[in-house]
Chains A and B, each alone.
Chain A
């Protein structure tokens, strides 16, 4: 019964497949979005946009698991944060160029992903969530105690450096375009993965795991591969964020951060392509706005969480998708 209700509930969060609308219209919409992304830093503060893009990538990486494999990881901050620390350390202390620093961060996040994924996929459902959460708390304590992480202070004043030793990332506009490129690369990778045969197997596992097993798929390996990929992409987001803000801190690695990425994805729409992006932009904007008010951020975040779970589980993009499908 558990498996059944599981797939059913997650299917409620799944949008209609992107079959409606002509391909030409779809491409035009995507081109328009890209133009907006390219022009945005002339209207809005580039660092704010870069931050939102980092979190959008983080949320997309998380969504790859919950939306397409049905695994709720509550420990993704471990990958995001550990990559941020490694990147910051590599760039600041070892003097690596930013792209190498980020790659190193991604590698470490992927390794953590392999170890944690191997342990966590032994349990399902809420247990999976608890295991990932507990393991991520272990990484939090490591970040607090290891000598290179700077304890409560984190690693500060990380130089942005020169991309490939050539392009100066000190300029906020250049930095933004670099982050946009990283985001697009990660986003397209996820998009391709979801629409590949590999992605089809993942969806089959989400819908009915016993059936996928009986069809002869090595379900554990598929889950682990998806987990490692999701962890690596979360690391990509974390490493990039460390370069943008020139900072790796404990905030990046707390379980509250893991919760935040769950909220972004839930708010935008679990299992939708654009949902996590929309959710991330909304949450980051809201936090920026609330920082200037008397309202406590965590309370507002919690209220949104509760409202999402109780009233619109499909999220914003999911609800819009359902509306379009209803009319079409």
Chain B
């Protein structure tokens, strides 16, 4: 069979697909971080833990209540998002007057608590979560085999990312949000309840992480540490993309996932650090990030 650059196409496209799927998660998570950062000026260190919570919520709903994947896809993000609302009301809201660093430190502590509890209960071994019946199997595309579930993840991620972008950039609600990030006092004066909007935004961003967790559950094992590995990479994605734009977060996420997949084919040893190398190069050339605005 034909080979591209000495690599069998099955391998190449297989890794590219894996890269695209990783990219879907990078995009969803950095999108959530960007949404939260835009409104709250907080880097949500607990994002990885909340992603893990989403996966565990789906697993628990199935195991203890027999709730299937499709319902969990809605329920789990709502539950995780509600937890986010509580955390924002009880804790984060006390820190807005202070240095942004305290938000980072608080959410770091929360991440330790959440992950520590789950590791205490479930150890580090993963819990299997079955692929739903309707999405089992796959298609032979001729040049490669596409498992249906993986295609589904990429599709959902694209739809959610585009939907969020549309909501923030093209609707009235989004306009209020963007206005409130620029000048909360003025927006408040127009009779819009900014504190509620802030709380809802945090809940929404956290729910996005939870959704990513549910999507990840059938692919990776549901594992207490699944978020802590991912969060650092997502931070690098955020630095590369720059926090200025929603679209930037999404595009950078997908791009870097694919780049990582390519590296896995041609130089596997470097695949773990390629994103960090890109980050270093971007910082040298464009410190504000590819899509970022210099503040």
A-side interface residues toward B, CB under 8 Å? Answer: 2, 5-6, 8-10, 12, 72, 119-120, 122-123, 125-127, 129-131, 133-135, 137-138, 141-142, 144-145, 255-256, 259, 262, 266, 296-306, 308-310, 313
- Find B276's partner among A127, A134, A144, A313 (CB 8 Å cutoff): A134
6 other A-B residue contacts (CB within 8 Å) besides A122-B283, A131-B283, A137-B276 = A10-B99, A130-B235, A134-B235, A134-B276, A302-B110, A309-B105
Which residues of chain B are near A302, meaning CB under 8 Å?
Answer: 109-114, 116
In the A-B complex, the 10 residue pairs with the smallest Cβ-Cβ separation, listed nearest first, are A305-B109, A302-B112, A298-B116, A9-B99, A302-B113, A299-B116, A122-B287, A306-B109, A138-B276, A134-B236
Within 8 A of A (CB), among B117-146: 117, 119-120
Q: Is B272 an interface residue (CB 8 A)?
A: yes
Contact across chains for A306 and B91 when beta carbons are under 8 A apart:
yes
Which residues of chain A are near B116, meaning CB under 8 Å?
Answer: 296-302
Complex-state Cα separation, A320 to B64, whole angstroms: 50
Which residues of chain B are near A144, meaning CB under 8 Å?
Answer: 272
B-side interface residues toward A, CB under 8 Å? Answer: 43, 91, 94-95, 97-106, 108-117, 119-120, 228, 232-233, 235-236, 238-239, 243, 269, 272-273, 276-277, 279-280, 283-284, 287, 295
Contact across chains for A145 and B272 when beta carbons are under 8 A apart:
yes
Known: A131-B239, A138-B273, A296-B119. A6 touches B99 (CB 8 A): yes
Contact across chains for A130 and B102 when beta carbons are under 8 A apart:
no
Complex-state Cα separation, A72 to B277, whole angstroms: 21
- Find A305's partner among B105, B228, B239 (CB 8 Å cutoff): B105
- 18 inter-chain pairs at a CB distance below 8 angstroms, sorted by A residue, are A2-B100, A5-B100, A6-B101, A9-B101, A123-B283, A130-B236, A130-B238, A130-B239, A131-B239, A134-B235, A135-B279, A256-B112, A256-B228, A262-B105, A299-B120, A302-B116, A306-B109, A308-B105
Q: Which residue of B lies closest to A254 (CB)?
A: B228
Complex-state Cα separation, A303 to B91, whole angstroms: 12
Complex-state Cα separation, A305 to B243, whole angstroms: 26
Contact across chains for A309 and B239 when beta carbons are under 8 A apart:
no
Complex-state Cα separation, A106 to B100, whole angstroms: 32
Complex-state Cα separation, A81 to B94, whole angstroms: 35
Contact across chains for B100 and A310 when beta carbons are under 8 A apart:
no
Complex-state Cα separation, A126 to B239, whole angstroms: 10
Known: A123-B287, A303-B113. A133 touches B101 (CB 8 A): no
Complex-state Cα separation, A256 to B104, whole angstroms: 14
Contact across chains for B43 and A126 when beta carbons are under 8 A apart:
yes
Which residues of chain A are near B295, meaning CB under 8 Å?
Answer: 2
Complex-state Cα separation, A138 to B233, whole angstroms: 10
Known: A142-B273, A296-B120. A133 touches B235 (CB 8 A): yes
Contact across chains for A125 and B283 when beta carbons are under 8 A apart:
no
Which residues of chain B are near A304, meaning CB under 8 Å?
Answer: 109
The smallest C-beta distance from A289 to any residue of chain B, in angstroms, reads: 16
The smallest C-beta distance from A72 to any residue of chain B, in angstroms, reads: 5
Known: A123-B287, A305-B109. A72 touches B276 (CB 8 A): no
Contact across chains for B120 and A5 when beta carbons are under 8 A apart:
no
- Find A129's partner among B95, B101, B110, B287 (CB 8 Å cutoff): B101
Contact across chains for B109 and A303 when beta carbons are under 8 A apart:
yes
Contact across chains for B113 and A299 when beta carbons are under 8 A apart:
yes
Contact across chains for B279 and A72 when beta carbons are under 8 A apart:
no
Q: Which residue of A lies closest to B295 (CB)?
A: A2
Which residues of chain B are near A141, meaning CB under 8 Å?
Answer: 272-273, 276
Complex-state Cα separation, A123 to B103, whole angstroms: 18
Complex-state Cα separation, A97 to B43, whole angstroms: 44
Which residues of chain A are near B117, meaning CB under 8 Å?
Answer: 296, 299
Q: Which residue of B lies closest to A307 (CB)?
A: B109
Scoring A122, A303, A305 by chain B CB atoms within 10 A of each residue's CB, the highest score goes to: A305
Complex-state Cα separation, A9 to B106, whole angstroms: 15
Complex-state Cα separation, A308 to B283, whole angstroms: 32
Contact across chains for A126 and B101 when beta carbons are under 8 A apart:
yes
Scoring A127, A137, A141, A305 by chain B CB atoms within 10 A of each residue's CB, the highest score goes to: A127
Contact across chains for A298 and B235 when beta carbons are under 8 A apart:
no
The smallest C-beta distance from B108 to any residue of chain A, in angstroms, reads: 6
Contact across chains for A305 and B112 when beta carbons are under 8 A apart:
yes
Known: A262-B105, A302-B112, A303-B109. A125 touches B119 (CB 8 A): no
Complex-state Cα separation, A306 to B102, whole angstroms: 10
Known: A306-B113, A309-B102. A137 touches B43 (CB 8 A): no
Complex-state Cα separation, A137 to B48, whole angstroms: 15
